Structure 1
């Protein structure tokens, strides 16, 4: 039974940069091995409905035609992944938004805002530049994926 559009698929993955550095995985042992383990995260296969746009196109396209137990490595360019960085997603905010909350902005730090997660790019006298681009925007990623389960469209 092969994955088709409309199917619900459970799959494991490991994502790497082109240089081989692991940045994300659904396997707890691999996360620990590569120093990216997060204590409160549940490491398990993720489930998506193929064709619903729930994951990046490069992985969704690679899953189509795969079978349970099949493994595949897929190279995902920015156009099929997280897109290219956009200048309009770099936003200056008044530094008072940090200082009035008792926070000291640090370059490279990620912060949660009402608009989502942003990386602090630059700290000026009066403003802090926040980057709302995805950390993988503009990067090619390599994913190892393995199909764990397929529920055909219409199955309970």
Structure 2
């Protein structure tokens, strides 16, 4: 017999996605307001219920930067406990290629601007980075860490396969 655990007692991390979008030696970043301070991050955000990881990464990048991107690889899956809210985060980091930009598209309300920075400029931001996963994912990409996107499967609700 399987014991049922009340939903409130099941531990659930935040599942997030992020995109490392490189253009030469520069990376697409966002400047955002977090708890009254400016922080810097890759285009990133939470996975929505019923959404695939790939769709979430594309959506978050567009909403936060106005850039349409094409995902190329999964860089890695990173686990971290947020110093911001204390909860666990599981982040799927993708490599993406910039396809087109809509400069007139309104950005998410907490996003101040999208900008392109070098790795050195990003590292110099220090504690203004939203999390250590920002540099971790860039460095994994620079080291050649690339996993095929078909490693990820999405089975929509009701799909019998």
TM-score tier (shorter): under 0.3
Which structure ranks higher in relative contact order (CA pairs < 8 Å, sequence separation ≥ 6)?
A: 1
Return the index of the structure with the highest Cα Rg: 1
Structure with greater proportional helix content: 2
